[in-house]
Structures are given as C-alpha cells and as structure tokens.
Amino acid sequence: MASYIKVENLDFFYGDFQALHNINLEIEPKKITALIGPSGCGKSTFIRTLNRMNDLIDGTRVHGKIILDGKSILKNEIDVVELRKRVGMVFQKPNPFPKSIYENVIYGPKRHGIRNKSQLDQLVEQSLKNVALWDEVKDRLNESALALSGGQQQRLCIARSLAMKPDVLLMDEPTSALDPISTLRIEELVQQLKEQYTIVIVTHNMQQAARISDITAFFLNGELIEYGQTEYIFTKPCDQRTEDYITGRFG
Amino acid sequence: MDRINKKLGYIDRKELVIKRILQLFALISILTTIGIVITLFKEALVFLQEVSIVEFLTGKIWAPLLEPRHFGILPLVTGTMLIAVCSSIISLPLGLATAIYLSEYAPSRARKIIKPMLEILAGIPSVVYGYFALTFITPVLQKIYPGTEVFNAASASIALGIMILPMVASLSEDAMMAIPDSIRNGAYALGSTKFEVATKIVVPASISGIVSAFVLAVSRAIGETMVVAIAAGASPKLTFNPFESVQTMTGYMVNVALGDIQHGTIMYKTVFAVGAVLFIITFIMNIIAKLIVKKVGEAY
C-alpha cells in the first residue's frame, strides 16, 4: 500500500548548524516526488529524515512532525526498524552487500522473520523481475553481487528494497554514479514502480526530474522554496529563485 | 628536446638506483629467513642421526637430561597445544567482541580512550605477564580450585590470552573499519538492528581479516616463550589438565639455552630439533589460514 506523508514545520540541526528550516510538504501516494536544488541545500538531509537515517549521525536534532499514514514517525517510541521496513531507501552509490545476489535480496526479508525457502525463492524472483534484472542474473544467483556492473548493482539494491514490500521508496540520487544507458533503465523502472509505491527521489539532474517526476520540490539553503506539479515548476515557477535555478543561472 | 631527454635519462637512472636499493632490503629479509631455516634443519638432521625419527615424533616421554634418556616430543607438543588452545579460548572471543564494540558501537570518545589502552596492554613486556601469571593469577586459581599446581598451564594461558587480546582486537577492528559505511547504511535502511549489522554484514564482510588476526594470534601463542617459561613450569607431561604443570616447546628451548650446554652435545641438538618441529607447526598453520581466507573469500 502506497503511503501518504505529511511534513509539518520540520527543522533539522547538525550540532549548531541548522540544515533544514521549517519544511512543510505533502508527499502523495503513487506519485514520484523529485527533490531538486544545488549541493548543500538540504535535500539529502530531508530525504534521510523520512526513514530516520539521520539518527545514525551523532549530534543531530530534529523538530517538527512527519506523519506517515496518520502516524507521527519522529517520536522516540517509534520502532525505527519497523519504520525502515516500510520506508525503503536506495543510495547514491550502489551498495550491494559482499554476498551473493540471492543473499542480497533475501537479507531484509530474513531479518524480519521469513525463513521458508520457497517463499524466499519466490521473493527473489519477483523482486528481480520487478527491476528487470531477473533474466540477466537468474543463472548466477549464487555469484557475488560485486561482480555485477554498476547499473545492475543499483537495480539489485532497488530489488533488495522491494523485497521488503515497502510502502515508500526513497531514492537519494540513484543514478548519479551510473552511465546514461543504466540511468535510462532505472528511470523507466522508477516510473513503473510508482504504480505501487510512494516514491521520493533526490536528483541533481534537472532533466531527470522533469522527465520522471509528478511533483517537484525545490530546496535552497535548507528551505523549501516551492513545490508543485512538475510541469508548472519547470514552466511557470512562482518564485524567481526557482526560475534562476532551473534555467541554470546558478547551482 | 635534448635537454628534456637528458633530464628523463637522469630520472630513469635515479629510479633504477632506488629500485635496486629497495630490492636489496627485500632480499635481506628473505635471505635471513632462508638462513634460519637451513641452520634449523641441518642441526635437526644431525639430531635425527642419533635418535630415530619414530621415537622423536611418537615417543611419550621427554627426558633428554636424565638417564635413561628419552626423546619423545609429544609431551612438549601437547603442552604447547594445551596453552595455545586455552589462551585462544580467552583471546579470540574477547578480542572479536572488543573489535565489534570499537568498530560498531563505541562512540568516538570511548574509542579514543580504549584504543590507546589496548596498545599499552600490547606494549607490556612478556616477562611482566609471566610474573603476573605466577604471582597473581596462580594464587587466584588456587583459591578457586585448590588442586592447582604452583606452575600450571591455566595461569600461563590466561596471561597469554590477555597479552594476545589487543592484537586480535586491533587487527580485527582494522578489518571491520575497512568496510565502507555505505554498506552499513544499506543494511540499516533495510531495518537492521545494530547487532544485525555487526554480525550479519560487517563480520562476514571482513572475515578474511578476522581469520588472519586469529591465526596470527594462535601462532603467537604457540611461539610465545617468556610467559610459559615462567608460569607453566618445566615438567614435560603428556596431559590435557590445565591445572597441572607442563612444558612447551619454547619453554624447553629457553630452559636449555639458559643452562650451560656444550656445543655439539645431544642437548644442544635437541634445541634445533624441537625448533624445527615448532617451525613446521606454525608453517602449516599459516598455510591453513591462507586456504581458509581464500575459500571464504571466494564464496562472495
């Protein structure tokens, strides 16, 4: 089930440095929301608050609310393990585990109690088919994931997240380390995935945001300048700074 | 153009000289090793002319000094193994646990304190560990288990285990710290707990480094001399009871070296024979370790 996320008055601090200022945003289910903005604008920090990956960094603080399907996820008593099971994440650099392809896909499901071999086999096949990797690797599932090409590794990482049957998929510049052909495949994949998931994608590549996203949010210096339908943001932005950025005047 | 060529020629020659000098240094260490091995085995072969190899390797009594003389090395081997195994039981799990704590759990402040302390532990001379075993650990053991002899394998093993622990911890931690954070983040993002990240991702990914740390530690335990010479005793006994006094191969060698023995006597030759066996054991261990690392490494 794709989730609906509502962010209210979100502030975020690394020590004394405030990286996010009063972010208010709604992320809709079965849509691709792209976060754009120059380096250091807070878009990656923001996406990492959605599955609380920032908890892993010492000295960070967060204020405000993030509500996932009616439940506030920033409270201390929230089980982050359970949260991350529902909110999957794909990283900038492909980061497969140094294990076999098969082991990579079943890592998450196994952690959460699925032990049945045929069920796991099925999950592997289904997840790899979802990312169009099945035909390429079905004969060598027990080989190291590190032997795959960068694009294949990234699709494997997406498959690994999908095997958890998440509601939300966060993607932090998933194609920035890939060649144009692999990038295209991932973009096609993301567009298919939105049928089932809520997708949030951080990208440096404005053409990519324009090509694949439904909603675009523009960040600058830790503030959300504006967000809305991608076609409006790219054709008639309300804010001068958005226009300057998308027309390439800075960033 | 000419000047550039001249300059390049000069650089080439300079590089060549540097290369040769470095080669020479590398050669020195290789030649030393070869020299040691040759001496060891030459003298050991002389020994085997006087004592049959069957008696040497399978005899159950080691009494080279007193008549009737016996030259069965098994008591020394079991003594060595007893101490190697017992000290590993202490140093390997504790060392691995310490490494996991330091690399995965410890906040950077705790790491800054604990790492140097481990290094201090590693810097204590082994003779100090020997007396620590004899004057502190043994009395404690005697309180717990009154049957403990004054010189005993357990006390030496505990001291040796503590002595080797920093090496296991430090080498294993290095291997774990080499795993990039991006891999850890991937596991966290799939809803792993810290313990799962440590045991299911980081330890398997760094297993070859950890295995080499273990093997180095066990080799060190087999080769360590001072602690066992002081605390384990000097009675070559075929026993697996750690509360009894034993003698290890190294312990025997140092005892002989401390006495005044004549060059060319049978006592003198035993040192080389025992040394050769010790060398073969550690050599085989290193090969096994290489095979393990290769096999585990290939699985991924």
CB contact under 8 A, B190 and A157: no
Phi, psi of A199 (to 5 degrees): -120, 130
- Sketch the domain layout of chain A as residue ranges: 5-96+167-246
- Give the residue numbers in A contacting B (CB under 8 Å), as ranges: 51, 53, 56, 58, 80-85, 88-89, 91, 93, 95-100, 107-108, 111-112, 144, 146, 157, 160-161, 164
What is residue B299's predicted lDDT score, i.e. its pLDDT?
A: 47
The whole-number average pLDDT for the span B230-243 is 88
β-strands B62-63, A71-72 pairing: unpaired
**Do B189 and B79 share a structural domain?**
yes
Find chain A residues with C-beta within 8 A of B196's C-beta.
Answer: 111
The whole-number average pLDDT for the span B236-247 is 89
CB contact under 8 A, B188 and A84: yes
Q: Which residues pair with A90 in a beta bridge?
A: A171
CB contact under 8 A, B190 and A93: no
Q: Which domain holds residue B290?
A: 63-299
Cβ–Cβ under 8 Å, residues B186 and B180: no
* Residue that wins the pLDDT comparison between A50 and B212: A50
- pLDDT averages per 10-residue partition of chain A, 251 residues: 89 94 94 93 94 91 92 90 93 93 94 90 93 92 93 94 93 90 90 92 92 94 93 91 86 59
What Cα–Cα distance (Å) separates residue B15 from each residue in A28, B12, B28?
64, 5, 20
- Select from B182, B191, B300 the Cβ nearest to the Cβ of A95: B182
Assigned token pair, A22: 């009063």
The whole-number average pLDDT for the span B213-228 is 90
Cβ–Cβ under 8 Å, residues A63 and A8: no
β-strands A5-14, A60-68 pairing: antiparallel
How far is the C-alpha of B132 from the C-alpha of B103, rounded, in Å? 30
Q: Which band of pLDDT confidence, cut at 50, 70 and 90, is reported for residue B300?
A: very low
- Which residues, 6+ apart, have CB-to-CB distance to A182 below 8 Å? A149, A150, A151, A152, A154, A175
Cα–Cα nearest to A43, from A171, A232, A233 = A171
- Select from B180, B191, B204 the Cβ nearest to the Cβ of A84: B191
Radius of gyration of chain A (CA): 18
How far is the C-alpha of B29 from the C-alpha of A127, rounded, in Å? 54
3-state secondary structure of A104: helix
**Do B156 and B131 share a structural domain?**
yes
What Cα–Cα distance (Å) separates residue B212 from each residue in B96, B116, B208?
12, 22, 6
**Do B138 and B244 share a structural domain?**
yes
Q: What is the pLDDT of residues B259-280, one digit of tens each?
A: 777 787 888 889 999 999 999 9
Element at B264 (helix H, strand E): none
CB contact under 8 A, B200 and A111: yes
Give, in degrees to the nearest 5, the angle at Cα A116 between A113 and A121.
Answer: 110
pLDDT over 90 (residue B5): no
Q: Does domain A5-96+167-246 have CATH number 3.40.50.300?
A: yes
- Select from A53, A97, A98 the Cβ nearest to the Cβ of B188: A53
**Do B93 and B34 share a structural domain?**
no
Q: Is residue B197 part of a domain?
A: yes
- Select from B107, B186, B200 the Cβ nearest to the Cβ of A91: B186
**Do B184 and B104 share a structural domain?**
yes
Radius of gyration of chain B (CA): 24
3-state SS of A180-242 is HHHHHHHHHHHHHHCCCCEEEEECCCHHHHHHHCCEEEEEECCEEEEEEEHHHHHHCCCCHHH
Cα–Cα nearest to A164, from A101, A122, A117, A106 = A106
**Do B167 and B244 share a structural domain?**
yes
Tally A–B CB contacts below 8 A.
Answer: 66
The whole-number average pLDDT for the span B91-112 is 93
Compute the mean pLDDT over every residue in chain B, rounded to the nearest whole number.
89
How far is the C-alpha of A150 from the C-alpha of B146, rounded, in Å? 64
Phi, psi of A178 (to 5 degrees): -115, 160
B182 interfacial to chain A (CB closer than 8 Å): yes
Cα–Cα nearest to B221, from B242, B245, B249, B243 = B249
What is residue B297's predicted lDDT score, i.e. its pLDDT?
A: 60
**Do B228 and B151 share a structural domain?**
yes
CB contact under 8 A, A56 and B186: no
**Do B101 and B41 share a structural domain?**
no
Q: What is the pLDDT of residues A169-198, one digit of tens each?
A: 999 999 988 888 889 988 999 999 999 999
Q: Is residue B55 part of a domain?
A: no
Find chain A residues with C-beta within 8 A of B185's C-beta.
Answer: 53, 56, 91, 95
Distance from the Cα of A246 to chain B's closest Cα (Å) equals 30
CB contact under 8 A, A53 and B201: no
B262 interfacial to chain A (CB closer than 8 Å): no
- Which residues, 6+ apart, have CB-to-CB distance to B158 below 8 Å? B86, B87, B90, B133, B137
CB contact under 8 A, B300 and A107: no
What Cα–Cα distance (Å) separates residue A21 from each residue in A35, A54, A219, A220, B23?
15, 16, 10, 10, 60
Assigned token pair, A239: 């804010």
Cα dihedral across residues A61, A63, A68, A71: positive or negative: positive
Q: Is residue B119 part of a domain?
A: yes
Other C-beta atoms lying within 10 Å of the C-beta of residue B172: 29
CATH number at residue B164: 1.10.3720.10
What is residue B67's predicted lDDT score, i.e. its pLDDT?
A: 76
- Select from A89, A144, A146 the Cβ nearest to the Cβ of B189: A89
Assigned token pair, B49: 């002319």
Cα-to-chain-centroid distance, residue A212: 14
Find chain B residues with C-beta within 8 A of A58's C-beta.
Answer: 107-108
Cα–Cα nearest to A186, from A133, A246, A126 = A133
Q: Is residue B204 part of a domain?
A: yes
Q: Work out the percent of chain B whose per-residue pLDDT is above 70.
A: 97
CB contact under 8 A, A111 and B188: no
pLDDT over 90 (residue B24): yes
How far is the C-alpha of B227 from the C-alpha of B249, rounded, in Å? 13
Q: Which residue of A has its CA nearest to B181?
A: A95
**Do B139 and B46 share a structural domain?**
no
Assigned token pair, B222: 């087999």
Phi, psi of B254 (to 5 degrees): -70, -35
How far is the C-alpha of A50 from the C-alpha of A60, rounded, in Å? 14
**Do B92 and B45 share a structural domain?**
no
- Select from A93, A97, A164 the Cβ nearest to the Cβ of B201: A97
- Which residues, 6+ apart, have CB-to-CB distance to B28 below 8 Å? none
Preferred mutation among A52, A56, A92, A164 to probe B, highest tally of B CBs within 10 A: A56
Least confident residue range of B57-66, B106-115, B128-137, B240-249: B57-66
Q: Provide the ipTM.
A: 0.92
**Do B235 and B144 share a structural domain?**
yes
- Which residues, 6+ apart, have CB-to-CB distance to B66 below 8 Å? none
Side chain identity, residue B198: A
Side chain identity, residue B284: I
Assigned token pair, B14: 């300079």
Q: What is the pLDDT of residues B116-141, one digit of tens each?
A: 888 888 889 999 999 999 999 999 99
Q: What is the pLDDT of residues A128-153, one digit of tens each?
A: 998 889 999 999 999 999 999 999 99
- Select from B108, B186, B191 the Cβ nearest to the Cβ of A97: B186
Cβ–Cβ under 8 Å, residues A40 and A219: no
CB contact under 8 A, A53 and B185: yes
CB contact under 8 A, B300 and A98: yes
The whole-number average pLDDT for the span B203-225 is 89
User: How many structural domains are present in chain B?
Assistant: 2
Q: What is the pLDDT of residues B51-67, one digit of tens each?
A: 888 888 888 888 887 77
**Do B164 and B133 share a structural domain?**
yes
Q: Is residue B57 part of a domain?
A: no
